[in-house]
């Protein structure tokens, strides 16, 4: 019996490699030969039937003959022409069905994958900021609605006013930050994957006092907690809404020169970035205004390029120095310093290119607030970004869209949208309280989708 099975398997394997027309001819020929042999064995003599060996031969030949004769039927080819076509059609249908199933499975997997993890866009990311600051709790509770907006991330304000307490001399432990940010750990949003936590510039006293050591430790503790819940980075609003924070001489005593104060401020910037990098090696730190704010040459250059701004360098003597220190610490590491480019007058592609040139090259060549030894490293030490403001006097829906497109075409890694005109999130007891019109959402989405690199 084992011999018979082995022979049948061999014949089946051989026949399976032969084309159907050739198989038809071969089947007929073999059938005739096998039939002839069988007849000879059966009728040669009666003695042959009593011979065990002959009977064994018959037990092999007869099943093989049956297999040969039935092979076309097993292959679905009762009629050779029709059967071959049927087999081909069945194979095609089977392949097609298989491909359909596979395609359906792939589609299902792709759809599920897109829902769970959308592909990264080939353009700078859009971060939403604004006066309707969504808190940690609000984001955690409303993420499914928020992720419908055409942005890649949100600047999130910590609960319990903790965003206003980081840059102060009162210690905040890692455990306190971790508890505050814990609701963000399970967002799992397919679109809002690049979220920043907001920190405001707040009074921390004299930069020469030890209280600033506490400030640095607070930033380090926050960085650890933010990393653990999957945030993108720190969004630093450097404007001093809560009191004098980076002022000369108010925040450095009355016995220090401007250069002494700037040197100490750079030291504090390095200290803060060092503390963050110790906990989060590839931290992203975006400052709304970049180092350009402390240099009058910035405003002269912008005016020459069609963007008229008031020269406020006199009121921001130490801002650049803090940020330069951060850049010095981050340079050559996996951390990234992002110049937020809060120059809301930029509209055209030429405007944004001019701003970027100043951010990355012009300051290094012309600014008096950059240490000489750092000039050659400057352009590689920052990422160029831009802020876009919805309440400028000329900001209609078409200008909004074109401005976003031009910013996306120019920025390195991020742009951010700042709203005071419309409420994007429908957060209760929040200003502004005018809901974002659908046409503004549409315009943002069209810009969001239009630019790729």
Whether the predicted pLDDT of 135 surpasses 90: yes
Distance CA 126, CA 407 (A): 10
pLDDT in tens, 151-204: 999 999 999 999 999 999 999 999 999 999 999 999 999 999 999 999 999 999
Q: Is the peptide bond before 431 cis (omega within 30 degrees of 0)?
A: no
Whether the predicted pLDDT of 219 surpasses 50: yes
Residues 6+ apart with CB under 8 A from 115: 190
Q: Please, what sign has the CA dihedral across residues 177, 181, 186, 191? A: negative
Report the relative pairing of strands 153-156 and 386-389 from DSSP bridges. Answer: unpaired
Phi, psi of 86 (to 5 degrees): -65, -40
pLDDT of residue 269: 98
Report the relative pairing of strands 233-237 and 284-287 from DSSP bridges. Answer: parallel
Q: How confident is the model at residue 122 (pLDDT cuts 50, 70, 90)?
A: confident
Among the listed ranges 22-26, 89-93, 117-121, 441-445, which one has the minimum average pLDDT value?
89-93
Q: How confident is the model at residue 339 (pLDDT cuts 50, 70, 90)?
A: very high
CA angle 63, 65, 69 (to 5 degrees): 115
pLDDT in tens, 261-311: 999 999 999 999 999 999 999 999 999 999 999 999 999 999 999 999 999
Instruction: Find where tokens 């073999």 sit.
Output: 30
Distance CA 170, CA 211 (A): 8
Determine the average pLDDT of the residues in 432-440: 95
Whether the predicted pLDDT of 107 surpasses 50: no
pLDDT of residue 32: 60
Strand order in the sheet with 284-287: 383-384, 336-339, 284-287, 233-237, 196-200, 153-156, 125-130, 414-419, 386-389
- 203 and 243 Cβ atoms separated by less than 8 Å: yes
3-state SS record for 130-171: ECCCCEHHHHHHHHHHHCCCCCCEEEEECHHHHHHCCCCCCC
Looking at the chain, the whole-number percentage of residues with pLDDT higher than 70 is 73
Q: How confident is the model at residue 428 (pLDDT cuts 50, 70, 90)?
A: confident
Return the higher-pLDDT residue of 38 and 1. 38
Mean pLDDT rounded to a whole number for the chain: 82
- 400 and 448 Cβ atoms separated by less than 8 Å: no
- 404 and 448 Cβ atoms separated by less than 8 Å: yes
Q: Is 31 exposed, middle or buried (0-12, 13-18, 19+ CB in 10 A)?
A: middle
Distance CA 269, CA 335 (A): 14
Return the higher-pLDDT residue of 451 and 324. 324
Phi, psi of 316 (to 5 degrees): -135, 50
Q: Please, what sign has the CA dihedral across residues 180, 324, 284, 414? A: positive
Whether the predicted pLDDT of 58 surpasses 90: no
Looking at the chain, the whole-number percentage of residues with pLDDT higher than 90 is 70
- 251 and 244 Cβ atoms separated by less than 8 Å: yes
**What 3-state DSSP class applies to 102?**
helix
Distance CA 324, CA 295 (A): 13
pTM of the model: 0.74
Q: Is 384 exposed, middle or buried (0-12, 13-18, 19+ CB in 10 A)?
A: buried
Whether the predicted pLDDT of 109 surpasses 90: no
pLDDT of residue 440: 98
Q: How confident is the model at residue 60 (pLDDT cuts 50, 70, 90)?
A: very low
Tokens of 261: 């104060």
Report DSSP state, residue 257. Answer: -
pLDDT of residue 253: 86
- 295 and 313 Cβ atoms separated by less than 8 Å: yes
pLDDT in tens, 240-251: 999 999 999 999
CA distances from 235 to 196, 321, 453 (A): 6, 18, 25
Whether the predicted pLDDT of 331 surpasses 80: yes
**What 3-state DSSP class applies to 316?**
coil
CA distances from 363 to 268, 299, 341 (A): 21, 11, 13
Determine the average pLDDT of the residues in 113-135: 77
CA distances from 27 to 34, 60, 62, 108, 425 (A): 10, 17, 15, 46, 76
Whether the predicted pLDDT of 42 surpasses 60: no
Residues 6+ apart with CB under 8 A from 20: 75, 77, 80, 83, 84, 87
pLDDT of residue 34: 56
- 189 and 233 Cβ atoms separated by less than 8 Å: no
pLDDT of residue 73: 35
Q: How confident is the model at residue 35 (pLDDT cuts 50, 70, 90)?
A: low
Whether the predicted pLDDT of 92 surpasses 50: no
Whether the predicted pLDDT of 430 surpasses 50: yes
Q: How confident is the model at residue 37 (pLDDT cuts 50, 70, 90)?
A: low
pLDDT of residue 53: 40
Whether the predicted pLDDT of 21 surpasses 50: no
């Amino acid at each position: 019996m084992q011999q018979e099975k082995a022979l049948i398997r061999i014949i089946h394997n051989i026949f399976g490699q032969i084309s159907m027309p050739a198989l038809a001819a071969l089947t007929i020929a073999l059938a005739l030969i096998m039939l002839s042999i069988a007849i000879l064995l059966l009728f040669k003599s009666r003695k042959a039937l009593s011979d065990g060996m002959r009977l064994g031969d018959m037990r092999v030949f007869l099943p093989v003959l049956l297999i040969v004769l039935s092979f076309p039927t097993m292959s679905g080819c009762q009629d050779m022409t029709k059967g071959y076509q049927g087999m081909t059609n069945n194979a095609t249908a089977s392949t097609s069905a298989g491909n359909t199933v596979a395609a359906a499975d792939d589609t299902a997997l792709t759809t599920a994958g897109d829902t769970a993890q959308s592909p990264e866009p080939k353009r700078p990311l859009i971060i939403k900021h604004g006066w309707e600051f969504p808190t940690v709790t609000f984001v955690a509770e409303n993420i499914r609605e928020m992720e419908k907006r055409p942005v890649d991330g949100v600047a999130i304000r910590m609960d319990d006013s903790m965003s206003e307490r980081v840059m102060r001399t009162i210690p905040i432990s890692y455990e306190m930050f971790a508890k505050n940010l814990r609701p963000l750990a399970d967002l799992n949003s397919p679109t809002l994957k690049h979220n920043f936590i907001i920190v405001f510039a707040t009074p921390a006293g004299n930069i020469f006092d030890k209280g600033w050591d506490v400030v640095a430790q607070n930033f380090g503790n926050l960085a650890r907690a933010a990393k653990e819940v999957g945030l993108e980075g720190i969004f630093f609003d450097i404007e001093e809404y809560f009191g004098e924070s980076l002022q000369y001489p108010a925040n450095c005593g009355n016995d220090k020169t401007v250069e002494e104060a700037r040197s100490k401020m750079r030291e504090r910037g390095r200290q803060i970035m060092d503390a963050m990098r110790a906990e989060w090696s590839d931290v992203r730190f975006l400052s709304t205004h970049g180092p350009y704010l402390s240099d009058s040459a910035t405003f002269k250059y912008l005016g020459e390029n069609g963007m008229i701004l008031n020269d406020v360098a006199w009121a921001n003597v130490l801002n650049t120095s803090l940020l330069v220190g951060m850049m010095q610490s981050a340079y050559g590491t996996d951390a990234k310093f992002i110049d937020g480019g809060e120059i809301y007058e930029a509209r055209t592609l030429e405007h944004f290119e001019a701003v970027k040139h100043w951010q990355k090259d012009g300051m290094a060549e012309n600014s008096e607030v950059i240490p000489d030894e750092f000039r050659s490293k400057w352009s590689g030490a920052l990422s160029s970004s831009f802020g876009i403001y919805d309440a400028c006097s000329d900001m209609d829906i078409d200008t909004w869209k074109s401005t976003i497109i031009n910013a996306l075409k120019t920025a390195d890694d991020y742009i951010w949208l700042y709203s005071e005109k419309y409420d994007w999130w429908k957060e209760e007891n929040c200003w502004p309280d005018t809901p974002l019109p659908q046409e503004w959402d549409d315009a943002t989405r069209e810009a969001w989708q239009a630019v790729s690199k």
